[in-house]
Amino acid sequence: MKRCYLILTVLIMGIIFSSTSVFAESANELDEKVDELEEEKNQINQEANGVESEVNETEGKIDENQEQQEETESEIEVINSDLADTQAKLQAKESDIAATNNKIAETEDEIAKTEEEIQELKDEIEALKDEIKELEEKIDSREELLKDRLRSIQQNGGNTSYLEVILGAQSFGDFINRATAVTKIMDSDKKIMEEQQADKEKMEENKVAVEENKEDMEEKQEGLEEDKQDLEDTKATLVVQKQELDGIQVTLNDQMDDRQNLMEQLETEEEELHEHKMSLAEEQETLQQQATVIEQAKKEAKQKIEQLAEEQRKEEEEANNSSGGPSDAGVQSNNNPSLSAGGNGSLAWPAAGTKTSNYGYRSFDGGGFHYGIDIANGKGTAIKAVADGVVSRSYVSSSYGNTIFIYHPELDLTTVYAHLNSRGVSSGDSVSRGQQIGGMGDTGHSFGDHLHFEVHIGGWKQHNGVNPLNYLP
């Protein structure tokens, strides 16, 4: 504003003294101009210093953010390797449990088989017992039969023995007959009895063998039952170990979630820190280009005022005209029915769309200040100059993307349009209110198609934007 008054003073003095002394006027003007330039240079230097400390501060924040990200990443790596380790252990446990289950099943099969064998042996023992009993009965009845026969022989021969039977022969032929008969009876009885005795002994041996076999089998079954119990114990231990590992895995997963959330937050924060940060070199270049354009614009504005003053003087000299109303500098209507800011309306909306971010502090911790507003809409949506002015810079910035700066001399404001898809104007171009200057885009540090719009009083300065809503209808 000071500079404005300075220009006006120079202008008025110029008009007053123009008719008296041409030399004085140009000398005066030159001095004033030198002073003005000197002042502007000082101001630029001051601005550059301020900017440098702001950039340093942002860079510090970015460094801090980067350090935190690296730390979190290495924590994630550790958790990842812990997780891989735990998963490998879990897999080993699971295969151990599967193997133990197989062994248990095998052992159960064997136990079942052994039980069957024991049952078979028991049946065999029972069968042998029956057979032995049968044989004993047979031997008993045979003995009984022999006794009967002997008794009948003795009865037949009175009180005689076999020998008496033989000796009682009437003739040699009778003797032979008698001896043969007795021998036959004796031999056959003896043979039968011997055979039966042998059978019985064999059966008994067999029974002992089968009983031994059964005992062996029962021992084996006991061993198998013990094996099975051991396997069940092993399995129970493995299951407990697996549960512990599951618990560890859950904890690790939770830790991982925490780290990933932190990482996302840090990344968002980094995006925000990067979004509207210019390098010192870029900033100084912008300030320099802007200074040249603004100087020129002011010069032109001054000429325009001079011209108007001249015209007015002529009109007054003629003194026969009614007053011409001021040009249509009145209130402009809202050019954006979907958005309403309620400001003074000295600027028109730069684009149609949805306001996705306000001027002010970002919502998250350490998010910094947002020096403009964001308007989102489709790619290529028309971006319009918000007032008459001159393009003070049109270029591609690594952070702002395709960017246009417009200086509005009548309002002494600068407006900034960032992340454009295309630029339709160049530095030094004059633009009028509502003129399309480019299309909406997603260039630079941007996340989705949107317009980042800033308003600055006087020239542009990094982190010096004021709330655009105060100027929008």
Residues of this chain that bind Zn ion (CB under 5 A): 374, 452
φ and ψ of 394, to 5 deg? -140, 110
63: left (phi over 0), alpha (psi -120 to 50) or beta: alpha
Strands 389-397 and 401-408, by their bridges, are: antiparallel
418 touches 442 (CB < 8 A)? no
Report the nearest approach of Zn ion to the CB of residue 419 (Å). 8
Task: State the Rg of the chain over Cα.
Answer: 59
Query: What is the rounded distance in angstroms from the CA atom of residue 36 to the CA atom of residue 462?
Result: 23
Local structure of 324: helix, strand or coil: coil
> Could you give the CA distance from residue 247 to residue 329 in angstroms, rounded to a whole number?
73
Smaller CB distance to Zn ion: residue 353 or 409?
A: 353
Q: Which of 409/438 has CB closer to Zn ion? A: 438
Q: Is 6 exposed, middle or buried (0-12, 13-18, 19+ CB in 10 A)?
A: middle
**With respect to Zn ion, which residue has the nearer C-beta, 393 or 452?**
452
CB of 356 to Zn ion, least distance (A): 9
**What's the CA gap between 426 and 203, in Å, rounded?**
122
* Least distance to Zn ion, CB of residue 374, Å: 4
Question: With respect to Zn ion, which residue has the nearer C-beta, 107 or 446?
Answer: 446
Query: Which amino acid is located at 236 in the chain?
Result: A
Measured over the CA atoms of residue 63, residue 364, residue 398 and residue 463, the dihedral's sign is negative
CB nearer to Zn ion: pick between 25 and 374: 374
Using alpha carbons, select from 318, 348, 324, 322 the residue that is nearest to residue 336: 348
* Token digits of residue 46: 């001051």
Cα 68 to chain centroid, rounded: 18
The Cβ of residue 20 has, within 10 Å, a number of other Cβ atoms equal to 8
With respect to Zn ion, which residue has the nearer C-beta, 372 or 409?
A: 372
Shortest separation between residue 452's beta carbon and Zn ion, angstroms: 3
- CB nearer to Zn ion: pick between 114 and 399: 399
- State in angstroms the smallest separation of the CB of 371 from Zn ion: 8
Task: Find the shortest distance in angstroms from Cβ 464 to Zn ion.
Answer: 15
Q: How far is the CB of 376 from Zn ion (least distance, A)?
A: 10
CA-to-CA separations, 387 to 173, 346, 428, 435, in angstroms, rounded: 167, 8, 15, 9
CB of residue 317 to Zn ion, shortest distance in Å: 53
Q: Between 252 and 451, whose beta carbon lies closer to Zn ion?
A: 451
In the bound complex, which residue of the shown chain has the CB atom lying closest to Zn ion? 452
